[in-house]
Structure 1
Amino acid sequence: MTTNPQRPPAGEPSADLLTQRLMKLLRLLDGQVNELLAEHGGLRILQWRVLAQLTGAPEHTVRSLAENLSISRSEASRAATALVELGHALRRDDPADARSALFVVTDAGRALYERIYPRRVEAMRRLMATVSAEDAAVFDRTLEALTTQLESESASPGRLRTRTGRRRRAG
């Protein structure tokens, strides 16, 4: 009898399989978001996520965007700058730090967010309706526990690892 190298023995979880399944889910979710964004002006996913952050607070620095979204500062800066160029955000000098800029959402950016967000919520409701409320709660707790564990393993206190593997200061 041969075993499939992709599958662990019965009853044993596979870290690689878990990673593959999570990546597939993420690709499918991103594809769904891409389709929606294409219908409403063609923002990229990261620009959408930055726009969502900007609508939730009066202002953000590149650092706060990066930390909130678990992305690098350069990714946050590029997305925020693109939103400024598209007229969805404004860039202002930060009076507290001359080396930093503050980003704020414009009326056009808020209007775009308010057009797209209800459709995102509805899509997530449809998706989550395929599982029981109990399973959804277990899934949420499991994701939180796994995230917390990985953050504690991969970072020294007060430091987070970016997607490029570099460490950045949290908080």
Structure 2
Amino acid sequence: AGSVPRADRAVRSPGARCHETASELGLDTDELPELATLDTGRWRGRTLEEVGTEEPEVLMRWLADPESAPHGGESVRALCERVGAWLESTPKDARTLAVVEPEVIRAAVVHALRLPPETFWRLDVLPLTVTELGGRSGRWNLRLGRPLAGESTPPPESGRPRADQ
């Protein structure tokens, strides 16, 4: 049931939450800018509800079109390409553990399974769970959802989603 997977190298997103999580898990991690969460530009720090109230059409277009970046930040497609490039660059003979935001996990899964970027928002990543990608470029296998600790699965909601979560 719930321990941190063994790894030859541990890396993390630059964000404060990932730094805190890695510290709490006792991991010595390298911070990698290519694992940064989705840049939501001027929407950063606002809930989707807030953005939807003020800019409903713009928000709907952004959620439906992976090329769209009306907030002035990064598109979902660009995130998937950035994270995919990192994934393909990981050493073939070493296990890498990455402490990252849910968007980065979604992007890695979209890339690894060659899913259309339109599926990005349909992947639900629970907090403090393990998503494992094994294999190599062109032939990835996916195992997801194992809780990090304890027997129970974390609740499906951990507060209000933000445009940058």
What TM-score, normalized to structure 2? 0.30
Q: Which has the higher contact order (CA 8 A, sep 6+)?
A: 2
More helix by share: 1
TM score, norm. by length of structure 1: 0.30
